[in-house]
């Protein structure tokens, strides 16, 4: 019996996993520079951690949750996103306390799960790299999070990015806007999609985010949230824009953008790429915003937060489309060629010695003839071959050859076992 992987999942094979490692390493290095530390939270949480935070009218909660009862009848869910679990951990570990430096800045990377219709750049198991910063209301922190996102994507070789920016204001803004939207949408009630009919009174902002074409036509004329901002919300948004200007980060204000999760307020943003790799039009690769009530929602004190999540699958597709070069961080230093059965133990010892000396080494394990072994060394792009036959074994030597120059020297085995790096340094001027 052969099995296929579940729909919406992927195997990340060697050849592509190097790109993933490069992405992860680049992110870790950059996060360190911005002084974010890593946090690792469980892949599953109590269902309520997500249902209370993502919003009970969101697609994530109503349609996409991988939730289940475990054998102890606990209602759990595989995480659909990273923020809620991090906030849960932040509260549970009392990281809001005076012992931790504020803003408290963390990052994470790992798999997330949403029951969605798979397509290019959209999977049921996908991966996010995200950051969260707690404990400051400063608009400069929103901007630093955005700048970090832009910085990361450009370090990874992406061009043609568009930063879409909006604000959802504060609670007062939301309440006023909510009513204005209801007033606007009610006359269109019969024309709305079934989802939007349900959402109209529960959460009219969700209607703005509807995927339904006719819903979209209706909301095109909806009032703009920017007309409902309180003075505080206006000030915050203006400062965000001024700080982005100061850093020379271009953006488009998109007053219709609402995001698919309910926990946001004030700044929200999406960084989008326009690439055929992800289908028609712009696709969001990195998105986030401010979520000032979330820590309280999960039982903590009043404590603001801001962050982003980046979709790694989408990013990798874009990198491949843009042919971003990924460095090969473990090239083959030495291929050890053994000629004759008698040399097998010695070649085994030699590859081990070379690896111990801090270099990469490989040999043949399939009883290939010398010619085929040299071919393999070439194909693997080995920097050196180290050849040992019966004669060399008898003399306790081996032939070291630099593949780039063809230069070849005989080296005592004892020297190799003592310090292979020194042998290379002595015998060849270039490594």
What residues are designated binding site for L-histidine? Answer: 81-83, 114, 128, 132, 259, 263-264
Binding window for ligand HAM (CB under 6 A); candidates: 88-96, 311-319, 356-364, 405-413 = 311-319
Select the residue interacting with ligand HAM from 139, 204, 288, 293 (CB under 6 A): 288
Residue 308 in the binding site for ligand HAM (CB under 6 A) = yes
Q: Which structure tokens are listed for 411?
A: 């080296």
First to last CA, the chain: 50
Q: Quick check: 319 and 156 in contact, CB under 8 A?
A: yes
Q: ∠ CA(88), CA(91), CA(94), 5° rounding? A: 145
Q: Shortest Cβ distance from residue 131 to ligand HAM (Å)? A: 7
* Burial class (CB within 10 angstroms; exposed 0-12, middle 13-18, buried 19+) of 141: buried
Rounded to the nearest 10°, the torsion over CA 414, 416, 419, 424 is 140
Q: Quick check: 360 and 405 in contact, CB under 8 A?
A: no
Q: Shortest Cβ distance from residue 265 to ligand HAM (Å)? A: 11
Q: Which of residues 83 and 196 has its CB atom nearest to ligand HAM in the complex?
A: 83
Helix (H) and strand (E) counts in the chain = 16, 16
Binding window for ligand HAM (CB under 6 A); candidates: 34-42, 80-88, 183-191, 406-414 = 80-88
Distance CA 420, CA 284 (A): 49
Select the residue interacting with ligand HAM from 28, 122, 197, 241 (CB under 6 A): 122
Residue 284 in the binding site for ligand HAM (CB under 6 A) = yes
Select the residue interacting with ligand HAM from 55, 82, 85, 169 (CB under 6 A): 82
Residue 60 exposure: Cα atoms within 13 Å on the Cβ side:
25
Select the residue interacting with ligand HAM from 67, 313, 333, 392 (CB under 6 A): 313
* Burial class (CB within 10 angstroms; exposed 0-12, middle 13-18, buried 19+) of 217: exposed
Residue 287 in the binding site for ligand HAM (CB under 6 A) = yes
* Burial class (CB within 10 angstroms; exposed 0-12, middle 13-18, buried 19+) of 236: buried
CB contact set of 35 (below 8 Å; sequence gap of 6+): 105
Distances (CA, A) of 61 to 47, 52, 231: 9, 9, 33
* Interaction residues for ligand HAM, span 244-283 (CB under 6 A): 260-261
Q: Quick check: 96 and 301 in contact, CB under 8 A?
A: yes
Select the residue interacting with ligand HAM from 22, 36, 90, 126 (CB under 6 A): 126
Q: Shortest Cβ distance from residue 293 to ligand HAM (Å)? A: 13
* Interaction residues for ligand HAM, span 83-102 (CB under 6 A): 83
Q: Which of residues 83 and 173 has its CB atom nearest to ligand HAM in the complex?
A: 83
Residue 318 in the binding site for ligand HAM (CB under 6 A) = no
Select the residue interacting with ligand HAM from 123, 275, 347, 376 (CB under 6 A): 123
Residue 55 in the binding site for ligand HAM (CB under 6 A) = no
Q: Which of residues 166 and 373 has its CB atom nearest to ligand HAM in the complex?
A: 166
User: Which residues of this chain interact with ligand HAM, rule CB under 6 A?
Assistant: 81-83, 114, 116, 121-123, 126, 128, 130, 132, 260-261, 284-289, 307-309, 311, 313-314
């Amino acid at each position: 019996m052969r099995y296929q992987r579940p729909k919406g999942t992927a195997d990340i094979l060697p050849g592509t996993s190097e790109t993933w490692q490069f992405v992860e390493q680049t992110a870790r290095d950059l996060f360190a520079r911005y002084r974010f530390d890593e946090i690792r939270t469980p892949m599953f949480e109590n269902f309520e951690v997500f249902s209370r935070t993502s919003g009970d009218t969101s697609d994530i909660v109503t349609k996409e949750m991988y939730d289940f009862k475990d054998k102890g009848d606990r209602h759990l869910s595989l995480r659909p996103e990273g923020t809620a679990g991090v906030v849960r951990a932040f509260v549970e570990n009392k990281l809001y306390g005076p012992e931790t430096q504020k803003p408290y800045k963390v990052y994470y990377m790992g798999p997330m799960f949403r029951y969605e219709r798979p397509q290019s750049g959209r999977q049921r198991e996908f991966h996010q790299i995200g950051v969260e910063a707690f404990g400051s209301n400063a608009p400069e922190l929103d901007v630093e999070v955005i700048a970090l996102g832009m910085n990361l994507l450009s370090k990874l070789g992406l061009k043609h990015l568009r930063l879409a920016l909006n604000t959802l204001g504060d609670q007062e803004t939301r309440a006023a806007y909510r009513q204005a939207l209801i007033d606007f949408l009610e006359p269109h009630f019969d024309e709305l999609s079934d989802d939007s009919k349900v959402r109209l009174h529960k959460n009219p902002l969700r209607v703005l985010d509807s995927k339904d074409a006719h819903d979209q036509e209706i909301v095109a004329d909806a009032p703009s949230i920017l007309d409902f901002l309180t003075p505080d919300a206006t000030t915050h948004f203006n400062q965000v824009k001024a700080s982005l200007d100061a850093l020379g980060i271009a953006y488009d204000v998109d007053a219709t953008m609402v995001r698919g999760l309910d926990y946001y307020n004030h700044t929200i943003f999406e960084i989008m790429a326009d690439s055929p790799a992800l289908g028609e039009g712009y696709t969001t690769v990195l998105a986030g915003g401010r979520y000032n009530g979330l820590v309280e929602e999960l039982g903590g004190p009043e404590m603001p937060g801001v962050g982003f999540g980046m979709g790694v699958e989408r990013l990798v597709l874009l990198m491949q489309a843009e042919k971003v070069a990924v460095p090969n961080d473990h090239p083959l230093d030495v291929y050890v060629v053994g000629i004759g059965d008698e040399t097998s133990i010695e070649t085994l010892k030699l590859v081990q010695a070379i690896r111990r000396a801090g270099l990469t080494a490989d040999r043949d394990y399939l009883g290939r003839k010398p010619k085929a072994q040299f071919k393999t060394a070439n194909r693997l792009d080995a920097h050196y071959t180290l050849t040992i036959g019966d004669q060399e074994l008898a003399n306790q030597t081996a032939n070291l050859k630099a593949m780039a120059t063809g230069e070849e020297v005989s080296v005592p085995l004892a020297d190799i076992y003592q310090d292979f790096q020194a042998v290379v340094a002595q015998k060849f001027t270039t490594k």
